[in-house]
Amino acid sequence: MKKILLIEDDIDTIDMVEIMLQGAGYAVIKINRLITIKEIAQINPELIIVDFLLPYCLGNELCAEIKHNAATTHIPVILYSASNLLDKIAKECHADAHISKPFDLDYFLNEVKRLVI
């Protein structure tokens, strides 16, 4: 079963996305706190989904750190947010995809499937 690391602070959103991903056959590891690159490397997920606005850091900064660290650079990252600047933000932090909130569930799952090999 493919592992997806979901980094989100909103309880309702994290639960809804977890249910959707588990229903599609993925194992979901939920994180609603600050996580280190070392922890991410130890989890070694097939995909990371991270919210842009987190109370403890910005998702784009975490994404950039993931993409610039040799232990995690291979892991695809989806950045998602309600920000109207998401396309620009995602490009700058080298996210593999971005999804605007509110999101279409089918589109969300298709992006996950596209990135999880």
> What is the domain range of residue 81?
3-115
Mean pLDDT of residues grouped by 10 in the chain (117 residues)?
95 94 97 94 97 89 97 97 91 96 93 94
**pLDDT tens across 59-92, in order?**
999 999 999 999 999 999 999 998 889 999 999 9
Q: What CATH number does residue 47 fall under?
A: 3.40.50.2300
Whole-structure pTM value:
0.94
Report d(CA 78, CA 83) in Å as an integer.
Answer: 14
Q: What angle do CA 54, 58, 63 make, to 5 degrees?
A: 115
